Structure 1
């Protein structure tokens, strides 16, 4: 029996979920992109995987471009389709990969925006050190800047992930990959103050989540985003702020301070060092500025 194209997409997404252990948000993105590709294929009377070819993939990218899809988004869509076609080759549904002949859209490297050290210090001191919420938020912001964790990794943190004696925290990254990240003394001190209050929280015993929401469960990504932007606004930071900007700032400040790129790659949990290399451009700007200030013939 011939399996239709949408059926193979379902099989592929199951493979990514079970075999590759991709995060739910990543799976949703793949599913959205591939659903768009299936709609294009069906509009061209292609309903089975065996009929996939380079021409169909090319016309899909052209059509997406006419609909206003930028080069970066088009590259992401092509990546989703290429993953599917490679899977179909491995499953012997296709003899050759039709995406092999499709050129990837050229994407200019977009430099991440970061906060300066002075702004970071203002942000870290913004929550009060009296209320439960203030102690929680101060500890969380300290941990985020000290470790460069993704916001989803912060949401997943459990009490047992923090090793106070060794000064380490266990981050649960993409694909359930785990890594140990050092915590500096300011973050550890903020955690100690928060954990003392957490122990007395009426709903603390019902969950192992490190950072508690008002209802006693873990904070959501949206809640962390909202509180961070609120604190940034309160201390007069006029630049757009987000959890990921803290991560960008962490990486950039490390490189500016002399850390090597492989160390930063490990701390961030990047599988490929090329993902980390974008931060070297920002660090290079810092080096050039220092050169201009210090060299008599700069």
Structure 2
């Protein structure tokens, strides 16, 4: 395992490997790694000659600076986890100035309206920050393949749009959500939950499973109202939104249309910790 903190030595190493015909897989992360991240690394390792894992808490995708400050960081633990899973990988753990030259500010992107749905309504500028860091990592690493979890499904669709619109030569892979025993989607933010909150947070996935089961028999509006009522009765959580949307355009569905694929998306607060999840409905 080799750890790079500077972009130029990493670029030289990867250019050399590419000249040898090696395929390169990238797994971008913000650290605080868990089994969900490690499953992405395993998939990348199975499909590429070289795997790069970036560990960088990107400041430009946080609309809430307190959330940025509280985001868990433990590089030493992350390195140990990666070494246990895939000892031959390359780790890129840069300082902010290695990624952003000049002002630490995001670029502006047009993601064909995907950025204004769901998360975009509640996290101003978030997807400009995501687009900025992912595009920058693609430029530094030059991967053949890049791996992202479907837990952040809206982000995944936005990155696919970024690649298409900017003609970036990388194949984007969406990987299944990994869950804790109670169904809670694995997330670095889970570490900020109390033991009781973490246990009770299985309610979020149970709700999504109910939405999936009833999608064929109830209207979209009925399901929305039912979910809102369920969370009103649950004192441990505050529902920010639950949306049923077209899986491609992410536009909210008012009624089901034949031949279209849909997903349910949810954002919930457990105390100060914001949790998101989603599920395919058909």
TM bin (shorter chain): under 0.3
TM-score, structure 1 as length reference: 0.24
Give 1 or 2 for the bigger CA radius of gyration.
1
Pick the structure with more helix per residue: 1
